[in-house]
Amino acid sequence: MGINSDDIVPLNQVRANLTELAEQVRGGKEKIITRNGKSYVALVDARRLDHYHRLEREHIHLTLLDDAARGLADVDAGRTMSVAEVRGRYKKSAKRQR
């Protein structure tokens, strides 16, 4: 769903027309609220916001699974380091950053 110029609303108009805008959003039209001519916040249907949050969590879980699979592939390929090697590498990095 794209945003068009009718979906961009100055903050001072939101105050006067909140009920009407809320009904439009509930009907599927998201709104971008501007302040001083710049994007400020979005008015989004609560169901859609919940959907966005579920997608974000799913993306995080898929990323973690991908990281785990790459880690297991590294172990299978023998690309491992001891704890001492890891600590040594991080100590060197920390010294360089100072």
Residue 18: is its pLDDT beyond 70? Answer: yes
Helix H or strand E segment including 43: strand 38-43
| 30 within 8 A of 7, measured Cβ to Cβ | yes
Cα separation, 34 vs 31, whole angstroms: 10
- Return the SS3 of 60: helix
Q: Band the pLDDT of 78: cuts 50, 70, 90.
A: very high
Give the tens place of pLDDT for each residue, 24-72: 999 999 999 999 999 999 999 999 999 999 999 999 999 999 999 999 9
Helix (H) or strand (E) holding 87: helix 83-97
Domains of the chain, residue spans: 5-44, 45-80
User: At the topology level of CATH, where does 5-44 sit?
Assistant: YefM-like fold (3.40.1620)
User: Model's pTM, two decimal places?
Assistant: 0.59
DSSP state, 28? T
